[in-house]
Amino acid sequence: QVQLVESGGGSVQAGGSLRLSCAASGLTFTNYPMGWFRKAPGQEREFVTAIRMRGGSTYYADSVKGRFTISKDNAKNTVYLQMNILKPEDTAVYYCAAAPGYYRNPPLDPYEYRYWGRGTQVTISS
Report pLDDT digits (tens) over 27-54: 888 899 999 999 999 999 999 999 998 8
pLDDT at 56 over 90: no
pLDDT value at residue 6: 98
pLDDT value at residue 104: 86
Q: If phi over 0 gives left and psi between -120 and 50 gives alpha, with beta otherwise, what is residue 47? A: beta
**What kind and span of H or E run contains 19?**
strand 18-25
pLDDT value at residue 54: 83
27 or 78, which is more confident?
78
Question: In the chain, what percentage of residues exceed pLDDT 70?
Answer: 100
| 10-13/120-125 β-pairing | parallel
d(CA 102, CA 26): 18
